[in-house]
């Protein structure tokens, strides 16, 4: 019985062998994950102010964008197997590029955009993981919730007349 389990496990491991064209993606993915871990360490620090957090989130988004553009470039050159995944990847890259459009806006608008982009990244990362293109690290699961853990943290960045904005249900982000 144990021998059957070993043989079956070996078969499954060789069946999901990574595409050799995606080896540069794997190397870049490791670098991106290191960038994310470093940025999250700065974001979680209690003395980090809102603007610095925004810069770190931009760093995370730019690193992910490089990774996704590399995958899309490989697929453009060598072809892709799932049209839906290709379209989703392209849409995610476009959403990441849209962050540049809110650069001159107020802090709340920029952080809302960051939250939406991080959610889109997480969903795309799930899909890419299911097709064994990239790995899904635990840091991606709640990455978008680091924008603000509590509404009180957001209050210190707003003027008193803007505080009512965070009471809207669509702008209150999950803590878990």
CA distances from 119 to 19, 28, 45, 123, 126 (A): 27, 21, 22, 6, 11
Q: Is 12 left (phi over 0), alpha (psi -120 to 50) or beta?
A: alpha
Q: Which of 72-86, 97-111, 162-176 has the lowest mean pLDDT?
A: 162-176
Average pLDDT over residues 138-158: 56
Average pLDDT over residues 113-127: 89
Full DSSP string of 26-37: HHHHHHHHHHHH
Average pLDDT over residues 131-141: 75
| Each residue's pLDDT tens digit, 72-81 | 999 998 888 7
The model carries a pTM of: 0.72
- Whole-number mean pLDDT of the chain? 77
């Amino acid at each position: 019985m144990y021998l059957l389990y070993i043989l079956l496990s070996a078969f499954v491991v060789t069946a999901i062998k990574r595409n050799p064209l995606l080896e540069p993606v794997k190397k870049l993915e490791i670098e991106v994950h290191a960038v994310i871990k470093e940025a999250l360490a700065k974001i979680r620090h209690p003395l980090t102010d809102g603007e610095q957090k925004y810069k770190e989130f931009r760093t995370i988004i730019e690193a992910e964008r490089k990774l996704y553009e590399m995958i899309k470039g490989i697929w453009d050159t060598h072809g892709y197997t799932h049209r839906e995944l290709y379209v989703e990847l392209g849409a995610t890259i476009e959403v990441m590029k849209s962050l540049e459009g809110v650069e001159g806006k107020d802090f709340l608008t920029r952080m809302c955009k960051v939250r939406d982009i991080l959610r889109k990244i997480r969903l795309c990362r799930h899909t890419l993981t299911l097709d064994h293109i990239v790995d899904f690290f635990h840091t991606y699961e709640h990455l978008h919730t680091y924008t603000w853990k509590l509404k009180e943290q957001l209050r210190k960045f707003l003027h008193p007349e803007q505080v009512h904005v965070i009471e809207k249900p669509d702008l209150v982000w999950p803590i878990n």
